[in-house]
Structure formats: C-alpha cells, structure tokens
C-alpha cells in the first residue's frame, strides 16, 4: 500500500512540475537576453532598408550620367546652330503674307516665281529658327531633369546615412551588453561622389543622330513656338 501511495505522489509532483521544456518556457526570461533579442530584431529591420536604397541611388546616378551626356551633346549642337529664335514671329508673318499674296493676287509668271523663291527662303530661315528654339527648350528640360535627379540622389543618400546612424546606435547598445568591440559589415555601400558624374564623350555622329531625331519628332512648321 505504501508503494502505491509513493507512486501516486510522484505522478502528481511530475504533473505539477511539467517537462523540462515547459519549465524553461515558464521560467522568467533574462532581461539582458530579452534586450539583445530586441536589438537584433531592430538591426534586421534596419538592414532590410539598405538594399532598396542602394539600388535606387544607383539607378538615379545612371540616369544622371545619361542626362549629363545628353546635355553635352545638345550643347554642342546648339553651339553649331544659329540662334535666331527672336525672328520666329517675324518670319512666320512674312511667310503667311507671301502665301496670301500668291493665293489672292495676279502676277506675271516671272513675278510669281520670284515671290515663290522668296517664300522658300523665308521658310528655310523659319525652320532654322524653330530648330534653335527646340534645342533651347530641350536643354531647359534636361537641366530640370538634372536638377531633380541631383536632389533625389541627395535625399536617398541622406536616408542611407540615417540608417547607418541607427545601426551604429544599435550595435553600440549591443556592445555595451555583450562586450563586442566592433560592428560587423552589413553589405556594400554606394560610393559617395563629391562631384557630378562625368558625362560620356559625345561624337559628331552622336550629334547628327540627335539632330535627326529632333527634326523627325518636331518636323514641319506647326511647332508650338
């Protein structure tokens, strides 16, 4: 009978105590270990922010390099083109006046040929003036793109700096708890550039291609200038 009571008492004590894993789960957690877990989670969260920021700044720098090269090409082309944009209105009025005279007035054959020749010369001058105008407008758009991209790159690099600062703080807190002496690397960082990306070299052949594209996109005399 005594053996039976002893066995029952052991079972009851085991049920109260539970398994070793259960006992460990119910044991109070070390505050230092809990703090370390919290710091590690924060570090992981901050590290996840770095790759997309690096990717974004790389893509923005690539676009900026392209825009700087495009500006260099357009500037060369603009320097080779006569700047007569102020004459656009005058040339258009002369062209329209000649077209009206040809359509409504009677001329001798020689006089009409002479008027048509003068009209062709005016149209040529007008086309050159419109080409100069388009180049100026294009350069303005490129300058605005460069300004926006430079600003965007600065903002992204500032965010990367904030993440770096936060990680330094977290690793500093971890060192105070664990005694570690240095922060491990979290991945490559985009190289900080002290100046704008260097534009690519542009040849006269490249300029000719840009010139043809500009003419094909804005051909004719229906420009909004």
Q: Would you give per-residue pLDDT tens digits along the chain (225 residues)? A: 445 444 554 454 444 444 554 545 555 567 788 888 888 999 999 999 999 999 999 999 999 999 999 999 888 888 877 777 788 888 889 999 888 888 888 888 888 888 889 999 999 988 888 888 888 899 999 999 999 999 999 999 999 999 999 999 999 888 888 775 454 555 555 555 444 444 444 444 444 444 455 445 444 444 444
Dist. CA 147–CA 151, nearest whole Å? 6
Structure tokens at 124: 């040529």
Q: Cβ distance 130 to 221 under 8 Å?
A: yes
Task: State the Cα–Cα distance between residues 78 and 133, nearest whole angstrom.
Answer: 10
Count other C-beta atoms under 10 Å from residue 63's C-beta: 17
H or E segment and range at residue 222: none
- CA atoms within a 13 Å half-sphere pointing along the CA-CB vector of 33: 3
Residue 101 to residue 103: CA distance in whole angstroms: 5
| Contact of 205 with 175, CB cutoff 8 Å | no
> Which of 213, 205, 200, 207 is closest to 62 using CA atoms?
200
DSSP character at residue 86 = G
Query: 208 phi and psi, to 5 degrees?
Result: -65, -40
Alpha-carbon distances, residue 210 vs 66, 71, 73, 223, 224 (angstroms): 14, 11, 8, 18, 20
């Amino acid at each position: 009978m005594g053996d039976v009571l002893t066995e029952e008492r052991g079972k009851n004590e085991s049920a109260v105590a539970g398994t070793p894993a259960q006992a460990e789960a119910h044991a109070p957690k070390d505050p230092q270990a809990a703090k370390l877990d919290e710091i590690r989670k924060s570090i992981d969260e901050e590290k996840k922010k770095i790759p997309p920021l690096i990717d974004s700044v790389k893509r923005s720098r690539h676009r900026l390099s392209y825009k700087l090269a495009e500006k260099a090409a357009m500037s060369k082309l603009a320097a080779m083109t006569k700047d007569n944009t102020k004459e656009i209105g005058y040339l258009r009025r002369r062209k329209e006046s000649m077209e009206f005279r040809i359509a409504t007035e009677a001329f001798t054959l020689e006089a009409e040929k002479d008027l048509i020749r003068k009209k062709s010369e005016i149209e040529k001058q007008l086309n050159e003036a419109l080409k100069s105008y388009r180049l100026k407008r294009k350069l303005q758009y490129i300058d605005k793109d460069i300004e926006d991209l430079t600003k965007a790159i600065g903002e992204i690099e500032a965010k990367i700096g904030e993440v770096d600062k936060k990680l330094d703080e977290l690793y500093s807190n971890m060192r105070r708890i664990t005694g570690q002496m240095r922060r491990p690397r979290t991945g490559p960082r985009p190289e900080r550039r002290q100046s704008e990306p260097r534009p690519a070299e542009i040849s006269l052949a490249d300029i000719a291609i840009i010139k043809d594209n500009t003419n094909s996109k804005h051909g004719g005399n229906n420009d909004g200038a």
